[in-house]
């Protein structure tokens, strides 16, 4: 393949910056070219320093994804662990005391894709055949993309709302064009009335909380219901528990992402094992967490590894108060 034409570190930094700003890929490259603080973060100190090309940016991200699928190794996670270990050593931060907590995270991409997916999962010829000439002219941004996943990479939160609203207007035009006996008429009508409403001739997107769980999620399975669960992320960070650490920054030493159905008490053992094996040579002595992290297995694990598990109120099930 030849020598790389860009710094891998710079491309990874760009991915971090993109998530931090919540911007589209186009806006990311705009910032990398003209935003001086962003350029400084990428070590592009001279105006002559060139930003990695967008093709190189996508190629590395694709290879990281393919490597994990092939070998089961998350290279981003390994880089995080190595960087964390170096920071603990360089800044002399002790991780003998850590605290952890979890938070539910919703995937905006998943939420937005359910609005777009029905368009892209229909055969292209069928899509165009059902559009009146005016609608065909207004629809290239949706139909030429061919893949809703790729479309989302170039959008930010502001343009997403406009795209979804435009899609509603497009569906409305299609419904007026189609006969009620046409193929997929009922499905398209159902999508429109579940996601949008017409007010004085204007198509308005319904608030997310007003959309029923039984709304159409997949054009290939109209009976499939929707349940917003998302994922949850568990963060473990160092905390001030000694006088010599008072002025030290707290450092995130472990991140775990699991389905929303995962219990909090399933995180401590994996987190502590990972920290000890991959991030730090110090042995964690104290863990601060809330009551949801309590369990018999965690107490036994903590006792076996000489770790003091300090939790708040122990959570109990309703009806167990008297036991």
Q: Write out 200-233 in H/E/C secondary structure.
A: CCEEEECCHHHCCCCCCCCCCCCCCCCCCCCEEE
> Averaged over 145-159, what is the pLDDT?
63
- Which band of pLDDT confidence, cut at 50, 70 and 90, is reported for residue 320? very low
pTM, 2 dp:
0.55
Whether the predicted pLDDT of 168 surpasses 60 = yes
Cβ atoms 57, 11 nearer than 8 A: yes
Q: Where are the domains of the chain?
A: 8-71, 80-106+230-311, 108-210
- Where is average pLDDT lowest: 45-59, 81-95, 161-175, 307-321? 307-321
> Averaged over 37-65, what is the pLDDT?
91
Q: Please, what is the average pLDDT of the chain? A: 76
Angle between helices 25-34 and 8-21 (to 10 degrees): 110
For domain 80-106+230-311, which CATH number applies: 3.40.50.1820, 3.40.50.300, 3.30.420.10, 3.20.20.140?
Answer: 3.30.420.10
Of 200 and 4, the one with more pLDDT: 200
What pLDDT score does 134 carry?
54
Of 1 and 201, the one with more pLDDT: 201
What pLDDT score does 31 carry?
94
SS3 101: strand
Which bin fits 42, alpha (ψ -120 to 50), beta or left (φ > 0)?
Answer: alpha
To the nearest whole percent, how much of the chain has pLDDT over 70?
A: 68
Of 304 and 202, the one with more pLDDT: 304
What pLDDT score does 105 carry?
65
Whether the predicted pLDDT of 219 surpasses 90 = no
- Which band of pLDDT confidence, cut at 50, 70 and 90, is reported for residue 37? very high
Whether the predicted pLDDT of 231 surpasses 90 = no
Across 112-116, 229-233, 281-285, 291-295, which has the greatest mean pLDDT?
Answer: 291-295
Pure H helices in the chain: 8-21, 25-34, 36-41, 54-71, 75-90, 108-120, 124-129, 133-138, 140-143, 148-153, 157-177, 185-195, 268-274, 296-304
Cβ atoms 233, 103 nearer than 8 A: yes
267 exposure class (CB count in 10 Å sphere: 0-12, 13-18, 19+): buried
Q: How far apart are the first and last CA of the chain?
A: 67
To the nearest whole percent, how much of the chain has pLDDT over 90?
A: 18
- Which band of pLDDT confidence, cut at 50, 70 and 90, is reported for residue 30? very high
What pLDDT score does 216 carry?
67
Tell me how far apart the 2 most distant CA atoms of the chain are, in Å.
76
Tell me the C-alpha distance between 138 and 119, whole Å.
Answer: 14
Condensed to tens digits (0 to 9), the pLDDT of residues 93-125 reads: 877 888 999 887 654 444 454 445 444 444 444
Of 229 and 322, the one with more pLDDT: 229
Task: Supply angle C-alpha 177, 113, 163, rounded to 5.
Answer: 60
Cβ atoms 284, 276 nearer than 8 A: yes
Whether the predicted pLDDT of 162 surpasses 80 = no
Give 305's contacts (C-beta < 8 A, 6+ positions apart): 272, 283
Which candidate, 228, 231, 222, places its Cα nearest to that of 262? 231
- Where is average pLDDT lowest: 66-80, 93-107, 250-264? 93-107
What pLDDT score does 110 carry?
46
What pLDDT score does 207 carry?
77
What pLDDT score does 243 carry?
58
């Amino acid at each position: 393949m030849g020598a790389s034409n860009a710094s891998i570190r710079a491309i990874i930094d760009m991915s971090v910056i993109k998530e931090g700003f919540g911007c589209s890929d186009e806006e990311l490259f705009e910032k990398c070219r003209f935003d001086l603080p962003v350029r400084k973060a990428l070590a592009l100190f001279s105006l002559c320093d060139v930003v990695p090309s967008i093709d190189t940016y996508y190629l590395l991200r694709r290879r990281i994804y393919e490597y994990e699928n092939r070998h089961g190794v998350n290279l981003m996670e390994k880089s995080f662990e190595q960087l964390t270990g170096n920071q603990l050593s360089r800044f002399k931060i002790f991780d003998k005391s850590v605290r952890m907590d979890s938070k539910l995270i919703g995937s905006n991409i998943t939420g937005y894709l359910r609005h777009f997916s029905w368009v892209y999962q229909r055969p292209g010829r069928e899509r165009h055949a059902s559009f009146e000439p005016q609608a065909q002219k207004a629809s290239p941004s949706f139909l030429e993309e061919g893949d809703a996943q790729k479309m989302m990479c170039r959008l930010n939160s502001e343009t997403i709302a406009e795209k979804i609203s435009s899609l509603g207007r497009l569906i409305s035009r299609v419904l007026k064009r189609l006969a009620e006996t046409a193929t997929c008429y009922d499905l398209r009508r159902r999508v429109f009335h579940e996601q949008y409403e017409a007010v004085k001739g204007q198509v308005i997107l319904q608030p997310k909380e007003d959309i029923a769980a039984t709304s159409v999620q997949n054009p290939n399975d109209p009976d499939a219901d929707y349940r917003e669960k998302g994922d949850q992320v568990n963060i473990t960070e160092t905390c001030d528990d000694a006088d010599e650490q008072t002025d030290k920054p707290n450092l995130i030493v472990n991140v775990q992402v699991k389905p929303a159905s995962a219990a909090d008490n399933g995180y401590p053992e994996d987190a502590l094992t990972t920290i000890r094996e991959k991030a730090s040579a110090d042995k964690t002595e104290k863990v601060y967490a809330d009551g949801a992290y309590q369990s018999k297995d965690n107490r036994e694990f903590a006792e076996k590894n000489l770790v003091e598990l300090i939790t708040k109120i122990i959570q109990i099930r309703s009806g167990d108060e008297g036991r």
